[in-house]
Chains A and B, each alone.
Chain A
C-alpha cells in the first residue's frame, strides 16, 4: 500500500501517538480537508485496511479496536468553527475542534453547547458525537444525539455526504446524522456538524454533600429531587471524589454534587428547596467554579483500570443502595438523573457484579480494560442482523473499525 493512502506524504504523521493499548497502526494520517479524509478512506478501502478514526484520543487511548487497526485517520486538523450566528442559537463546526475551543467561542457570546466529555481540552466535537458521549448534565441538556441538527460525513467509499441541516427544526430526509452518534467511527467519519445551542444560565451554583452509605441509599431523602430538575446530581465514591477541585473537595465515604444552573431567582428558590430536603451542604461553589466542577465530574469517568459503564432509568442516587457497602464502590461515578453509572471493579472477573447491577436495573453499555465477565444481558439477537445490514450499507468494505 502507499503509505500516504492517496494523500501527499506530508499528511503522514508518526504512528507512535496513536497506540491503542499495545496496538500501533501501520500508518497514521492527518488530512487537512474533508476531501482528503474521504480520499484516505477510499484508498484504505481499496486495500482493505482497517481504519480507526481519531479525534483527541480521549477515549481511544483506553479503548480497543473491534476489528484490526492498520490506519489511524486523525481528523484533528479539521478544526475550524465554520458558522456561528448567536441569534440563531446554532453553530456549525468541523469535527476536530475541541470542546474547550467551542466553549470559549460560544461563551464569549453568552451561549454554550452542552456537550460533555472527559478532558474537554483534548476532546473533539467529532469524537464526542461519534461516542454520543455525555456527562453529569445529560438528563437536563440532552446527549449529542439530541443537539445535532445535521452533519457532513465521509464514507469509506470516498463519498462525502450530508444529512439533516443547519436549522433548529427540520424533518426532511432520514436522520443519518443521528445514527452516527454512538457509532464510534464504525459507520462513517463525521467531518462537520451543526448543533443547537443554549444561552448560558444566569446563575450557577453547586451544593456538595459528604454522605454516609446509608444516606446514599435512602430513597425517601432523594425522592423530591428529580422534580426540582437540578442540572446535575453526581455521586462519587470517596476515592473518585478526591480528584474534585479543592473548593468542592469533601472527605466522606460518598460525595454528591448537585448543580443548579438557572435564571437567578429560580436558582435561589431551587437552592432553598434542595437545602430544605437535604440539609445544609458541606461545601458550596458558584459561578465559573461550577463549570470547573462539572468538568471534574465528567473527568471522573476517566480513571485508570477496567471499567463498566451502565445505563438505567433511575433518576436518584438511591439506585446505588445494593452496592454502597462494596469496597470498590469508592471509585464509582453515578450521574444520577441520567441513570449513568461508571464502575471500576477491583476484581477483573466482574460477572457477579455485572449480574447484581443488572438485577438493580442497570444495563451494561460499555466495557473497558482487562475485564472478563459474562454479559448478564442476552445479546440483541433480533437486531444484530439489522445492525449488520446498516453497517454494510454505510461501510460496504467493512474497513471502519468501530472502536470499543
Chain B
C-alpha cells in the first residue's frame, strides 16, 4: 500500500497530529516487534485514546480497505504485531490508564496499554495483585498479554492470562464497540471473550479489560538447587508435582546457561552443576516452611547437591536476576541466537532436552536451555554466528526440528509467545487441515474480510508455503534483560 494514496486527514482530525504518524522514521520504528527478522513498515501509525477513537479508526480502515495491526509494547517474539501487509499499526500505548479498581469485589477495569507491572504496582495499596507475570512484565502491556494469552513463571500455580480476564470491551471489524463477558464470572451462551484472548488481534481489538485480582500472597520462599545432571533436576520437578505440591514457579537453567550467566553477573551460581533448579512457593506464611522442607527432601532424593533458600527480598531478587538474565547472557556469547517456545508434557522434559542437545550437536551448534520446567515449556536457544549464512541455516533447521520433536512428544509449538508470523508454517504440522479449517471459520465469523492483523496465526497466503525460513526468533546481540522468556 502506498501511503501517498491514503488520505490520513480524517484520522488527524480525529486523533490530532500527534496521534497519526507516517514519517519514514516512525514507519521503521513500527515495522516489527521483537521478531526482528521479519520487517514490514506500516503505512501509518495511529495512537487512539479511547474505545470510540479505536472504533472510528476501524470504520475508516474498513471504508478504505486498509488492514489494521494492533500493537502493545511490541515485545512479542513471534511477529504477531508486525504489520505484514502494511496498512495501519494501531498502537494502544496511549490507552494506559487503570480505569477502576474494585478492591472489595477484587477486579479492575484497565485500558490495554497499561504496563503489566504498573498494574500490580497500582494495586499494591489494596493489597491485591494481577497474577499473570510474563518475564516482559516491566514493559509489556496487559492488552498485549491478552492478545497472546501470556503466561509467565508463576502461571504454573496461577494460570495464564485467560484465567484472569473476566471480560473485555472490544471493537469489532465493523466498528461496533461491544462488551464480552464482564465483571461477573459467567456469561449466557458461549463466552466470546474466551475466543479473543490469545487471538493476537485477529478477531477484534480489545480496548478495555476487566481483570480478576488476587490477594497478595502473605509470604514467598525462593529456593535454588543444583544438580549434577539436568535429568535429575527434571525428576525433582516431577517428584514435587507427584507429591501434590504446586509451587508458584519452577525454572531450570542448564550448565551452558549457568556458565554464561555466571561469567556475566558473578552471582555465585555453581559452575560445575549440570543444572540449577529455581523453585518458588508462595502463600500463607504458616504453610511455606513445611513446603520448603518437603521440596528440599524430594530434591535431595533426586540428587540435589545443595540448596540455597533466599533469606530476604534482596537475595530473592538476586536469584531471579540470574534466571531473568539468561537471555542477555546468550546475547553476549554469540552474535546470533534463536529462541524457541516449545512445550512438551512435563514428564518428557529430560528426553526433550537431550533431543535439543542432539539436534544442535549434529549440526555443530551450541545450545542452551532455560525453561519453565513446571509447565514443560522449553525455551531452547540455538547459538550461531550471525555473519555465517551456513551456521544460520543450520540453526534454523535445528529450530525447526526441535519444534517437530515437541509435536511428536504430544506437545505444542508455542507455550506463551504466540504463533504470529514465526510459527505459522508449523501450524500445518501441529494441526490437521480440518482443525485449521474450523479455526478459519471462527476467524471469518469475526473478521470476514481479514482486515484485522491479516495473515497471522493461520497458515495461508504469505506463509512461505511451510518453508522453515521464518522459523526462530533471531536476536543478534541482545543485551541485559532487554528481551524476555
Q: B391 at the A/B interface (Cβ < 8 Å)?
A: no
Residue from A161, A187, A202 in contact with B435 in the complex, judged by beta carbons closer than 8 Å = A161
Residue from B189, B441, B444 in contact with A387 in the complex, judged by beta carbons closer than 8 Å = B189
Per-position 1/0 for B159-183, Cβ under 8 A of A: 1101100100000100011101011
Contact A178-B104, Cβ < 8 Å, known A171-B414, A227-B215: no
Taking CB atoms, residues of chain B closer than 8 Å to A139 are 185
The answer on a CB contact under 8 Å between A167 and B410 is yes
Residue from A179, A315, A382 in contact with B104 in the complex, judged by beta carbons closer than 8 Å = A315
Q: B390 at the A/B interface (Cβ < 8 Å)?
A: no
The answer on a CB contact under 8 Å between A88 and B194 is no
A171 to B161: give the CA distance in the assembly, Å: 11
The answer on a CB contact under 8 Å between A146 and B417 is no
Residue from A171, A187, A393 in contact with B416 in the complex, judged by beta carbons closer than 8 Å = A171
Q: How far is the CB of B15 from chain A (nearest CB, A)?
A: 24
Residue from A85, A187, A394 in contact with B347 in the complex, judged by beta carbons closer than 8 Å = A85
Q: Which of A146-188 touch B at CB < 8 Å?
A: 146, 155, 159-163, 165-176, 178-184, 186-187
Taking CB atoms, residues of chain A closer than 8 Å to B418 are 171
The segment from B249-257, B321-329, B426-434 that touches chain A is B426-434
The answer on a CB contact under 8 Å between A87 and B347 is yes
The answer on a CB contact under 8 Å between B186 and A181 is no
Per-position 1/0 for B11-32, Cβ under 8 A of A: 0000000000000000000000
Per-position 1/0 for A89-109, Cβ under 8 A of B: 110000000000000000000
Q: A8 at the A/B interface (Cβ < 8 Å)?
A: no
The segment from B222-230, B283-291, B359-367 that touches chain A is B283-291
Tell me if A's interface is mostly helix, strand, loop or mixed.
mixed
The answer on a CB contact under 8 Å between A89 and B241 is yes
A263 to B156: give the CA distance in the assembly, Å: 17
The answer on a CB contact under 8 Å between B287 and A167 is no
The segment from A73-81, A285-293, A296-304, A362-370 that touches chain B is A362-370
Q: A312 at the A/B interface (Cβ < 8 Å)?
A: yes
Contact A85-B345, Cβ < 8 Å, known A176-B438, A183-B189, A386-B172: yes
The answer on a CB contact under 8 Å between B345 and A173 is no
Taking CB atoms, residues of chain B closer than 8 Å to A327 are none
The answer on a CB contact under 8 Å between B188 and A169 is no
Taking CB atoms, residues of chain B closer than 8 Å to A178 are 162, 191, 194-195
Contact A175-B191, Cβ < 8 Å, known A166-B410, A167-B344, A315-B105: no
The answer on a CB contact under 8 Å between B185 and A138 is yes
A179 to B443: give the CA distance in the assembly, Å: 12
A175 to B196: give the CA distance in the assembly, Å: 9
Q: A199 at the A/B interface (Cβ < 8 Å)?
A: yes
A205 to B178: give the CA distance in the assembly, Å: 42
The answer on a CB contact under 8 Å between B432 and A161 is yes
Residue from A88, A199, A364, A393 in contact with B442 in the complex, judged by beta carbons closer than 8 Å = A393
Q: A313 at the A/B interface (Cβ < 8 Å)?
A: yes
Taking CB atoms, residues of chain B closer than 8 Å to A202 are 244
Taking CB atoms, residues of chain A closer than 8 Å to B457 are 173-174
Residue from A165, A179, A198 in contact with B411 in the complex, judged by beta carbons closer than 8 Å = A165
Per-position 1/0 for B359-378, Cβ under 8 A of A: 00000000000001001110
Residue from A86, A160, A175, A187 in contact with B194 in the complex, judged by beta carbons closer than 8 Å = A175
Residue from B245, B343, B415, B419 in contact with A199 in the complex, judged by beta carbons closer than 8 Å = B245
Per-position 1/0 for A374-396, Cβ under 8 A of B: 00000010110011011011100
A163 to B162: give the CA distance in the assembly, Å: 16
Q: B37 at the A/B interface (Cβ < 8 Å)?
A: no
Nearest B residue to A148 by beta-carbon distance?
Answer: B194
Per-position 1/0 for A300-314, Cβ under 8 A of B: 000000000001111
Q: A21 at the A/B interface (Cβ < 8 Å)?
A: no
Q: Which of B424-465 touch A at CB < 8 Å?
A: 427, 430-432, 434-439, 441-446, 448, 457-458
Q: A145 at the A/B interface (Cβ < 8 Å)?
A: yes
Q: Could you say which of B182, B244, B418 has the most chain A C-beta atoms within 10 Å of its C-beta?
A: B244
Q: How far is the CB of A225 from chain B (nearest CB, A)?
A: 11
Nearest A residue to B173 by beta-carbon distance?
Answer: A386
Taking CB atoms, residues of chain B closer than 8 Å to A174 are 195, 198-199, 203, 439, 442-443, 457-458
Taking CB atoms, residues of chain B closer than 8 Å to A338 are 185-186
Q: B412 at the A/B interface (Cβ < 8 Å)?
A: yes
Residue from A143, A262, A393 in contact with B185 in the complex, judged by beta carbons closer than 8 Å = A143
Residue from B156, B178, B410, B442 in contact with A382 in the complex, judged by beta carbons closer than 8 Å = B178
A174 to B444: give the CA distance in the assembly, Å: 12
Q: B148 at the A/B interface (Cβ < 8 Å)?
A: yes
Q: B129 at the A/B interface (Cβ < 8 Å)?
A: no
A365 to B163: give the CA distance in the assembly, Å: 20
Q: Could you say which of B189, B203, B435 has the most chain A C-beta atoms within 10 Å of its C-beta?
A: B189
A197 to B376: give the CA distance in the assembly, Å: 15
Contact A365-B377, Cβ < 8 Å, known A146-B162, A172-B427: no
The answer on a CB contact under 8 Å between A173 and B431 is yes
A395 to B202: give the CA distance in the assembly, Å: 22
Q: How far is the CB of B178 from chain A (nearest CB, A)?
A: 5
Nearest A residue to B184 by beta-carbon distance?
Answer: A311
Q: How far is the CB of A321 from chain B (nearest CB, A)?
A: 14
Nearest A residue to B444 by beta-carbon distance?
Answer: A393
The answer on a CB contact under 8 Å between A314 and B343 is no
Residue from B166, B189, B284 in contact with A269 in the complex, judged by beta carbons closer than 8 Å = B284
Q: A17 at the A/B interface (Cβ < 8 Å)?
A: no
A394 to B458: give the CA distance in the assembly, Å: 17
The answer on a CB contact under 8 Å between B432 and A181 is no
Nearest B residue to A391 by beta-carbon distance?
Answer: B445
Q: A204 at the A/B interface (Cβ < 8 Å)?
A: no
Q: A142 at the A/B interface (Cβ < 8 Å)?
A: yes
The answer on a CB contact under 8 Å between A169 and B416 is yes
Residue from A166, A171, A173, A387 in contact with B439 in the complex, judged by beta carbons closer than 8 Å = A173
Taking CB atoms, residues of chain B closer than 8 Å to A214 are none
Q: How far is the CB of A135 from chain B (nearest CB, A)?
A: 12
The answer on a CB contact under 8 Å between A313 and B107 is yes
A155 to B427: give the CA distance in the assembly, Å: 21
The answer on a CB contact under 8 Å between B346 and A87 is yes
Q: A340 at the A/B interface (Cβ < 8 Å)?
A: yes
The answer on a CB contact under 8 Å between B186 and A187 is no
The answer on a CB contact under 8 Å between B442 and A172 is no
Q: How far is the CB of A128 from chain B (nearest CB, A)?
A: 14
Q: B331 at the A/B interface (Cβ < 8 Å)?
A: no
Subset of 22 A-B contacts with CB under 8 Å: A132-B186, A132-B190, A134-B186, A160-B434, A161-B435, A166-B345, A167-B415, A169-B343, A169-B376, A173-B427, A175-B195, A175-B198, A176-B438, A182-B187, A199-B244, A313-B105, A313-B107, A313-B166, A339-B184, A366-B188, A383-B192, A390-B445
- Residues of chain A touching chain B, judged by Cβ–Cβ distance below 8 Å, are 85-90, 110-111, 132, 134, 138-139, 142-143, 145-146, 155, 159-163, 165-176, 178-184, 186-187, 198-200, 202, 223, 226-227, 229, 262-266, 269-270, 311-315, 338-340, 363-366, 380, 382-383, 386-387, 389-390, 392-394
6 tightest A-B contacts by CB? Answer: A199-B244, A393-B441, A313-B183, A389-B445, A311-B186, A311-B184
